[in-house]
Amino acid sequence: MGLSLDGRAKLRAVMRVRVDNFRLEFGNDPPVRVTPMQVRLKDDARPVRAQPRRYSPNDRAFLDRHTAALLAHGLVYKNHRSRWASAPRIVRKREQDVDPTADPRMTIDTRSVNERTEPMSWPMPVLDVVLGELEELYSFVTHRGIYTPTRVPMGATDAVAYCQGVVGEIFGDLIGDGILAWLDDIIGYAENESALLELLDKVLSRCEAYGLKLHAKKCQFFATEVKWCGRVISADGVKHCPERVQGLVDMSPPRTAGDLQQFLCAVNWMRQSIPEYTRITANLYDALERAAKISGSRKKNMLAKIRLDDVGWGDTEIASFENICGALLRMVPLAHPSPTAEVALYTDASQDFWGAMVSQLEPLEV
C-alpha cells in the first residue's frame, strides 16, 4: 500500500463511515437503485425448457449450497410454473488453483433464450423499464426444481451492455475524470493520496446512494501497481500481465484452424504493444483465411474441424508463429499521456503495410 501514516488514518475514517458499502457474502439487500433491464423477445419466440443436467458430486453439492443462499436472500425464488428454464453451468475460478476448497462460479446456459432475444444496441443509449413477467426468461433448473432470478444473471444476451450502462448511470461524470470502468472492474487514479482519498469517498458515496455493494476481498486501496482488465498499470505506464504473456508464449504450435484463431484473438488484444504486428502475423492470418474458405464459417467449432496441415501450414507459418511469440516477450510498455507535452504522430507505409506511432515530447525537447 503506497500510503502515508496520516493517509492510513484518513482511509480508516472513510471506511468506518462507508463500511456498509461492502459485503463478503450475500446479504438481504434490495436491488441496486438503477433503471431495470428490459428484454425484448423476437416475434416468433417460443418458450424453451431444459432438462436438469448431471454434475459431479462436488459441483452438485456446490449447486445446492449456492442455490440455497440465493433463495435465502431473495435473489431467486422457486417457480415450478415457469415456462422457461435453462441449465446452470459450473465454472472454475482462478482462486481454486491456490485454494482447492474455494467455490467455483455458477452461470446460466442461456444460449437458447439468447437466440430468442433481440439484443439491445451497444453502447446502450437509453435504459428502459423491465416487464416483471419477463423475469422467468432466465429461470434455471436443477435437480431441486426451477428457480427464477430477481437480478440480471450472467450469460444473458443484454447482460454485458446493461452492466456497462449501469456503471455509466452510477459513475458517469467520474469516468475519465478519476476512474476508469469496464463492466464491474473499476480503477480510480489521482496524482496524490489526498486527491485519491477524496475520490474514494465520492465513489463510495455513489455506491451508497444507489445501493451498490462491493466485494471486500476484491478491493485494493492505494496500490502503486494494479492488474486491471489483463494489464498491469502503475505510475510508469501500462504493460500486459506477465502471466498472460508467458501463457501465450508457452503454447504449443496450433494444429487446427480453431487453435490458430484462438491464438490470434489473444495476441491481437496485445497488438498496440507489438511493433510491426501486421507484418509478423500476415502469414498466420493468410492460413486462417484459407481455412475459413474451406470451412465456410469463421466460428471456432467449425474451424476446429480443419487441420492446418490441410491448408498449406508449413515452415513459413511455423516461423511466423515463433516470431510473434518472440515479439510478445519484447512488447513495448505504453506511457500515460501527459497534459503538458506535445503530441507527435509518426507514420510510414510501404506497398504491403502501413503503420503509425503516437509519442509525446516535453516542450524543451520540441
Does residue 114 contact residue 160 with C-beta atoms inside 8 Å?
no
CA count, 13 A, side-chain hemisphere, 61 = 6
**Average of per-residue pLDDT across 74-92:** 93
The answer to whether the predicted template modeling score (pTM) of the entire model surpasses 0.85 is: no
30-39, 143-152, 271-280, 356-365 — which is least confidently predicted? 356-365
Which architecture characterizes domain 40-157 according to CATH?
Roll (3.10)
**Rounded-to-integer distance, Cα 109 and Cα 123, Å:** 24
Q: pLDDT digit string (tens) for 121-143?
A: 655 433 233 334 467 889 999 99
* Residue 109, amino acid: D
Chain region(s) in the chain for CATH 3.10.10.10: 40-157
Over residues 260-268, mean pLDDT = 96
Bridge partners of residue 149, in order along the sequence = 76
CA 353 to chain centre: 31
Residues 68, 47: Cα–Cα separation, whole Å? 26
Residue 174 has a CB neighbour count (10 Å cut-off) of 17
Tell me how crowded residue 190 is: count the other CB atoms within 10 A of its CB. Answer: 15
Task: State the pairing for strand pair 214-215/22-23.
Answer: parallel
Which range in 30-44, 82-96, 252-266 is most confidently predicted, on average pLDDT?
252-266
- Taking the C-alpha atoms of residue 25 and residue 46, their distance in angstroms, rounded to an integer, is 36
Q: Which residues are CB-contacts of 64 (< 8 A; sequence separation ≥ 6)?
A: 142, 144
* Mean pLDDT (whole number) for 316-337: 94
